[in-house]
Structure 1
Amino acid sequence: MKITFLAVGPIKKPYAKDGVAEYVKRIGNYTQVETFDIKEEKYSAKTPRAEILMREGERILAKVKPSDFLIVLSDNGTGFSSEAFATKIGEVIGGRAGKKGMAFVIGGPYGLSKEVVDKADLLLSLSKMTLPHDLARLILSEQVYRAFTILKGEPYSH
């Protein structure tokens, strides 16, 4: 199973860039993994928010395969403990969701288009607090790695 991370805009902070790279590398020990920085639209007062989200959403959905279990980060999403998140990932990997891949999506400053949110198989919340984009990417990649260690019974998760 391939895991794909899709995020609008690049990682800007060096600490986050290094951390995400490290966790993606570690995830690669368990499964195929790829990351995509989706081009962020230029924001201006003249461009309606809905149009910005639509353009970014089209770019995101172009990278998501119909066979992917789509997990979209949302402040309206479900929060999980690390163990429950690992169980969910295990269900998808085990084929119980009927999908061949897994894609995680993090939106840009204005969020995500309705089209992307509506296609989600799961809306995921990392926290009730608002997180900076770079930190959300770091936390998500760490939690996916942690999920694999939990599923394998490895000591990192303890």
Structure 2
Amino acid sequence: MTFSELTDLLATQFGAAIQPNTQNLQPYLSVPVEQLVDICQFLRNDERLFFDLLACITAIDNGPDANTMEVVYNFTSIPYEHNLMLKVMVPRKQENRKLPSVPSLAHVWRTADWHEREAYDLVGIHFDGHPDLRRILLPTDWVGHPLRADYQEEEQYHGIKTK
């Protein structure tokens, strides 16, 4: 299935909120964070699509000036040999929350569990509904999220110089 066919199918199912971007080397769809879980369940469950593999989740901090963060999802349908990239964008600061929030996909694809933990650990995005959201790469007492644009590294960690 081609990117435009995937776009048409999702737009028919979910409306004009599906925004294609074909300007990049790899085209992607921007989707509203509120529809992420429904769209992903459709991608996995629809017989025409059967995206059975969540290959990667990437979190991007666009910096304090842009005041947004992105979560990028790469899906593959192994039997149909087609791929799709989805993006959701969220504000860096959300009302009554310390971290930006995106719904977890761990109940849709088990691989989301570790990918989401990595994005949480390094970029500081909270995944609502994640079964065990905790650090995966850094120690549990690490301060901050090192891939944030405004991250300030501590001078020492347990008496060890970090700079």
When you count helix as a share of all residues, which structure comes out higher? 1
When you count strand as a share of all residues, which structure comes out higher? 2
Output the TM-score relative to the length of structure 2: 0.28
Q: Which has the larger radius of gyration?
A: 2
- Specify which structure has the bigger relative contact order, considering alpha-carbon pairs within 8 angstroms and separated by 6 or more residues: 1
Output the TM-score relative to the length of structure 1: 0.29
